[in-house]
Structure 1
Amino acid sequence: MNKVDIIMHPVRFKILQVFLDGQSKTAKKVAKELKDVPQASLYRQLDTLVKAEVLIVTEENQIRGAVEKVYSLNVPAVNMTNDDVKELTKEEHLQYFLFFTAQVTSDFETYLDNNDIDFLRDGVGYRQIALHLSDTEFLDYVKDLRKVYEKYMQNTPAINRTKRIISTITMPKKEGELKHE
């Protein structure tokens, strides 16, 4: 099974989202966040992620005769590279993109299910903008964005912090012929 298939599986994708805060977690903690995933399925998918080296077992604790594993995200293993996706067919790309957008839609629907929503207070928003950038300017933009992400990804969970999911999609918009500088 390739990396894309491992990551884009619906249950495994949900599990990986739980680890986006950079914290180590037991299966019990993951189950608390993913109440809709049956326990047997959760353990099976955790095992698949460990075998694929996407999750790493960082501790094993003896608890009443059983071993409780503590898992951490192997960040380099989940980062999709150009090599990971360049062999995909158009249909596979579309399938994965549709899955990605469906997951974003599901997360947004979960937010909307709250009784007291306030986009401004909750920091919720969605928009689409167009930037006219040369290839060099675009690479600078991506580097700047990466620096911002890295600055805040170091934050650990705390009472005064809310876990926020940031999703980005970037693609060129062909208007006639694209000019490369």
Structure 2
Amino acid sequence: MDTLELLAHPVRLRVVHAMSGGRLLTTSQLCARIPDVSKATLYRHIDLLATGGILEVADERRVRGAVERRYRLRQDLAVIDNAMVESLSLDDHRRGFATAMAILLAEFNAYLDRDHADPVEDLVGYRQHAVWLSHDELHDLISDLRSAIAPRLANQSTPDRAQYLLSPILFPLETPPSNPESASEAETRTEPDPGT
């Protein structure tokens, strides 16, 4: 299984999210962190991630006659790079987007199911904004977002930090016309009333 196939599954990607920030977690701890997925299913996906090299065993210890392993995320391998993205077909993008949405729904429901979930106190946000951008303005926006987000991706898990799922989603809602008019001309032009 290649990296893209390993990461393009909702359960496996949720495991990757749970392991980020330098965390060392056992399979039991991951089951507690992702309680809406059965243990058998989670064990199978953890095994696939370990076999594929995305997770590695950090240490082992004997617990009641069984071997308990703590896993570490190989952050350098848990990445979908630009070359991989450029090789995707439209159907690959469709499946990837569906995976991302499935993860968002599952993680948000798991958050709301917690005893002390408080969307206001936790500053939960899921607003959507439709913005008009030229090609250059789009590149500027992406650069600004990267500048704001990238330094924080290196944050390690510490007792004073909570993990947040940040999912920027960006795609055009319509294609610019091939022979663009000024916005004011397009908005003020009226069509004949078909009833007259």
Structure 1 residue 73 displacement after superposition? 1.1
The one-letter amino acid of 1:106's match is A
Structure 2: give runs of 5+ residues left out of the alignment: 179-196
* Matches of 2:69 and 2:116, distance apart in 1: 37
Compared CA separation, residues 70 and 139, structure 1 to 2 (3 A):
farther
Please say if 1:50 is aligned against 2:44.
no
Give the Å deviation of 1:58. Answer: 1.6
Letter in 1 for 2:167: S
Number of aligned residue pairs: give it. Answer: 177
What corresponds to 1:132 in structure 2?
133
2: CA distance, partners of 1:134 / 1:88: 22
How big is the shift at 1:76? 2.0
Looking at structure 2, the residues matched to 133 and 170 of structure 1 have their Cα atoms a distance apart, in angstroms, of: 14
Pair 60,88 (structure 1): closer, same or farther in 2 beyond 3 Å: same
Larger radius of gyration: 2
- Superimposed CA distance per residue, residues 93-148 of structure 1 (whole angstroms, 9 cap, x where no aligned partner): 1122112112212323344446776543211112233263554x655554543343
Aligned residue for 1:96? Answer: 96
| Contact 1:61 1:68 survives alignment (8 Å) | yes
After TM superposition, give the deviation of residue 2 of structure 1 in Å: 2.6
Give the match for residue 185 of structure 2. Answer: none
Alpha-carbon shift at residue 22 of structure 1 (Å): 2.9
What residue in structure 2 maps to residue 29 of structure 1? Answer: 29
Q: For residues 31 and 39 of structure 2, what CA distance do their matches in structure 1 show?
A: 7
- Seen in structure 2, the aligned counterparts of structure 1 residues 116 and 50 have a Cα distance that, compared at 3 Å, is closer
Q: Secondary structure at the match of 2:4?
A: helix
Q: Which moved more, 1:53-62 or 1:113-122?
A: 113-122
The root-mean-square deviation of aligned C-alpha atoms, in Å, is 2.9
Change in Cα spacing, 1:112 to 1:45, as seen in structure 2 (3 Å) is closer
Moved more, 76-85 or 114-123: 114-123
Give, in whole Å, the separation in 1 of the partners of 2:19 and 2:48. 15
Q: Is the 8 A contact 1:4 1:85 kept in 2?
A: no
Q: Give TM-score scaled by structure 1 length.
A: 0.78
**How many percent identity over aligned positions?**
30
More helix by share: 1
Structure 1 residues 34 and 101, CA, compared in 2 at 3 Å: closer, same or farther? same
TM-score (norm 2): 0.73
For each residue in 1:30-78, what CA deviation from the matched residue of structure 2 results, as whole angstroms up to 9, or x when unmatched? 1111223332322221111011111121212233443221111111212
